Amino acid sequence: MHIYLGMFKFGQHKLTKMHIISTKALGLSALRTLVFEGSKIELSDEVIQKIQECRDYLDQKIEATTDPIYGINTGFGSLYDVRIHSENLTKLQENLVRSHACGTGDHVPQPIIKLMLLLKIKSLSYGHSGIQLETVNRLVSFYNNDILPVIYTQGSLGASGDLAPLAHLALPLIGEGMVWYKGVQTPASEVLQAFDWTPITLQSKEGLALLNGTQFMTAYGIHSLLKSFKLSYLADLIGTLSLDAYDGRIEPFDPLVHLVRPHNGQIKTAERILSFLEKSELMQQPKKHVQDPYSFRCMPQVHGATKDTLAFVKNTFITEINAVTDNPNIFIREDKIISGGNFHGQPLAFGFDFLKIAMAELGNISERRTYQLVSGLRELPSFLVEKSGLNSGFMIPQYTAASIVSANKQLATPASVDSIVSSNGQEDHVSMGANAAIQAYQILENVERVLAIELLNASQAMFFRNQKTSPFLTAILSSFRSEIPKVTEDRVLHNDIDKAIKFIQTLELENDVLFD
């Protein structure tokens, strides 16, 4: 059942559709729709042709030349000058996959694994990787049947591609490793047998095509961007609710203020806040104070800077997911096989670090608004509860938010300024983009919690106001309060915070609102 509330809808209903993988660029809106609808995928005729032509070219090239071609008839990394005989080319690729599957740590969340499959297929679809069509089709089958390789969060330096995570992604192709199937970890060999599939026999270059690439980072990047855009919108919404509950002033959001400092995000934030406040009786009542604290007054400037950063990061990741990121690259028309460095994750590492800082700041300013709400100011009771002293009320949720915000400051330290030498010095500069990806994921989980705590406080503060907020905010409050009633005396607020987080998670924005 859907409950529509303005631009929101509560709950999900996925319709299975078919998405055709072509050489046309994928955008963030299309990706979100694809993920949200649970669409199956299929290769276009153009993509099939490109993959086959590239494979045929590579086979002919190997047969016609005795020259060493990196990763095709040579070893890998610092073993680049070790020649491999033709009868061992399949063994070479299989050994590559096995030897590099040494990830550890936590499990990568299954939705991100599914994105990894999709983005690997997309990168291979351009016909510059020398992959077999059979191999890509098997990846498509994995995606469509929710057969998700078990992958671990630790192991990638974000430079020679996401080697360890992508090795775990590739293992089930050869019937090895573990997969998530129907929510259970199962040996890949058993799942292949259940579908009557034989393991793929990897041909020359294929292991390298599968392992070189940035799909671990980009999958986390797309997931993080989708969540970031949603949290950016919700920060505006919840911040506006807090502003009205704090009996704040509307003048700082006047368009005249922002047109003389015309940063796009700043203008958009002010416009959005004004729209949320339309017809608020509380906002229109006379004020006893001349100014509000920065955490309220400067929402356009702070939230807006995050929006502008998201626009930059979005451009970086959308460019990357529509690119060829393995190595070497094969160019049929030019008759060249070139070993380069498209697997290096430096653009993504910078993007993640910018994203981390920008999103951490949304949590930072949110916690400051929560602090103001519980401080006994503006005719609100101390800690937003009657009989404070006997009741501690909302004293400690602010502590929790402060703890989370400080954790985010630590996680937001740039990962991209780090590097370490690997592979006997051949890979002497790495991006650390994979570490940044995990940190960004953690920061976003934390920001969601901090905003949920602010929403909990703003809802409680609004109980003490005689005037009504705007119709739009009233509708949000009404739905929220059906889950979390007023706190009249102390209770276990962990449960309320948990419900507030789930409330935020169930709010779904339409694409045109999310990416406006």
> Where in the sequence numbering do the catalytic residues fall?
70
Residue (of 392, 390, 236, 349) closest to 299 by Cα position: 236
Angle between helices 395-411 and 493-506 (to 10 degrees): 60
Q: Which residues are registered as beta bridge partners of 184?
A: 181
208, 324 contact by CB (below 8 A)? no
Contacts of 494 (CB under 8 A, 6+ apart): none
173, 135 contact by CB (below 8 A)? yes
327, 340 contact by CB (below 8 A)? yes
Half-sphere exposure at residue 14, Cβ-oriented, CA atoms within 13 angstroms: 12
Query: Using CA atoms, how far apart are residues 451 and 454, in angstroms rounded to an integer?
Result: 5
91, 144 contact by CB (below 8 A)? no
Half-sphere exposure at residue 293, Cβ-oriented, CA atoms within 13 angstroms: 18
Query: Using CA atoms, how far apart are residues 432 and 503, in angstroms rounded to an integer?
Result: 34
CA–CA distances in Å: residue 26 to residues 32, 315, 402 = 10, 12, 38
SS3 124: helix
- What are the two backbone dihedrals, phi and then psi, of residue 181, each rounded to the nearest 5 degrees? -140, 125
What's the DSSP call for residue 199?
P
287, 247 contact by CB (below 8 A)? yes
What's the DSSP call for residue 483?
H
3, 479 contact by CB (below 8 A)? yes
